[in-house]
Structure 1
Amino acid sequence: MTDIAEMSFEAALDELEKIVAQLEGGKAPLQESIAIYERGEALKRHCEALLKQAEARIEKITLAKDGTPTGVEPLDQ
Structure 2
Amino acid sequence: MSDDVKAMSFEDAMKELEATVGKLETGEATLEESIALYERGAKLRAHCEQRLREAEERVEKITLAADGSPAGTTPAEGL
Alpha-carbon distance, 1:69 to partner: 3.7
Superposition RMSD on alpha carbons, in Å?
Answer: 2.5
Residues 20, 41 of structure 2: 8 Å contact kept: yes
Q: Aligned letter for 1:43?
A: L
Alpha-carbon spacing, 1:26–1:57, altered in 2? closer, same or farther (3 Å): same
Alpha-carbon distance, 1:16 to partner: 0.1
Question: What is the DSSP-based 3-state SS (H/G/I as helix, E as strand, rest coil) of the residue aligned with 1:27?
Answer: coil
Residues 62, 70 of structure 2: 8 Å contact kept: no
TM (normalized to structure 1)?
A: 0.77
Unaligned runs of 5+ in 2: 75-79
Question: How many corresponding residue pairs?
Answer: 71
Greater Rg by CA: 1
Q: Aligned letter for 1:17?
A: E
1:43 partnered with 2:21: no
Unaligned runs of 5+ in 1: none
Provide the rounded CA distance (Å) in 2 between the counterparts of 1:4 and 1:15. 10
